Structure 1
Amino acid sequence: MDKKFKGDIPGQREGFGRPGRLRGFDYGTSALYYVTMITRKGACILWDWRSVLAAISRQYNEPFEGPILSECGQTVKHFIEQIEFHYAGIKVEELTVMPNHVHMLIRFGVYSPSGRLIAAQTNLPTVIQQMKQAVTKHLGTAIWARTYIDRIVRSEKEADELAQYIRNNSRYWTKDSLCPKIPEDREYEWMTILKE
């Protein structure tokens, strides 16, 4: 991966990410959070480029299955999966790495096998910031948009719906607002590249 992120990768868009913090809320509180982190300018760098092309080329057909993560995507997945080993009382319950963003459900406050609640000793912004820094240090370049989007999950029904959405997200990425669209007059060109 190029150590200097030039910002010229196809499918990039400006203005991704917005602060979503709820004013006055303690983000260290035991709760389930839905978090979306977007790559810088929405660059499709987390999947292998063949997976991105395969998914986009099917935007008018059946759902896409079977993404292959790029080296960058594998690094992101690894560091997110390590969160619960570095912070007591925190568990990543669901995770999907998309071409240009990541969705996860992360629980603060988990129960031990004996049934005792283990409270998190940090807060969500700190965990996200440190994870992003670890990825940046490992890759040698910043890949993230400055902010991330979070939502406090308020019911089991909402948690189930979000978990289902995360599990199925890669199958329906082409319907996602973050998916770059191929102009109809260039679809054949993209399919030719895909077959190489």
Structure 2
Amino acid sequence: MNFNPEIHERRSIRMVDYDYSSAGFYFVTICVQGRESLLGEIADGVITLNDAGRMVENSWLELPAKYPDMAIDEHVIMPNHFHGIIILQPPVVVGAPLAAPGYGKNGTTDQGAASSAPTLGDVIRAFKSISAINVNISLDRSGQPLWQRNYYERIIRNENELHNIRQYIRNNPAQWDDDNENPTNQRNSAP
């Protein structure tokens, strides 16, 4: 079948005209392909990661070494999805303020030189790729997608939102029985 942009156009779920390299806090959710429970099990509100889940966690924890202009915050690996907070920061120049003037759209500076700051998409792409490679090798399922094509993000706008999202992440395993991502609930909710 030939590509037809009117039929095959991929619709972005990102905010139009938002600079995803902007300094800030971002809440992300990434789902396993087909919502398959590959990463662990939850019993009595506690997640127990299997080898694949531990590989995903290691991939998450190693992100700041790959991208020095970002940090990670609260996260949880669920059996079939992942929640985490990513903090993007402007590049720090010796003697310059932390939020250097002119740092802005498309990662450029006042002088027009590209910055080294990653976009949120860069960070997610690296995380998904590295974790998928490691998990697929471990599970002997080379070439199969681990993650769904896209991801969900929310720009965290203030301290109250950050606090609430951190609480949501921490409490997520305890809420598994009622979670929409729980395959048991998806089967029970079918018409």
TM-score by length of 2: 0.72
**Which residue type is aligned with residue 179 of structure 1?**
N
Superposed, which structure 2 residues align to 1:25-174 within 5 Å? 25-47=18-40, 51-52=41-42, 54=43, 64-109=44-89, 117=98, 121-140=117-136, 141-174=144-177
SS in 1 for 2:173: helix
TM-score by length of 1: 0.70
TM superposition shift of 1:116: 5.4
Superposed CA offset, 1:54-73 (max 9, x none): 4xxxxxxxxx3322101111
Report which of the two structures shows the higher radius of gyration computed on alpha carbons: 2
Report the Cα distance in structure 1 between the residues aligned to 2:127 and 2:65, rounded to whole angstroms: 12
CA RMSD for the aligned pairs? 2.6
Superposed CA offset, 1:90-147 (max 9, x none): 11111100011000111111798x9952786110101101111111222234210000
Partner residue, 2:111: none
Superposed CA offset, 1:156-182 (max 9, x none): 100000001001111111111111227
SS in 2 for 1:26: coil
Say if 1:19 and 1:148, in contact at 8 Å, map to a contact too.
no
Q: Percent identity?
A: 27
Which structure has more RCO (C-alpha within 8 Å, separation ≥ 6)? 1
Say if 1:93 and 1:106, in contact at 8 Å, map to a contact too.
yes
Say if 1:20 and 1:151, in contact at 8 Å, map to a contact too.
no
**Which residue type is aligned with residue 98 of structure 2?**
L
Report the Cα distance in structure 1 between the residues aligned to 2:79 and 2:96, rounded to whole angstroms: 38
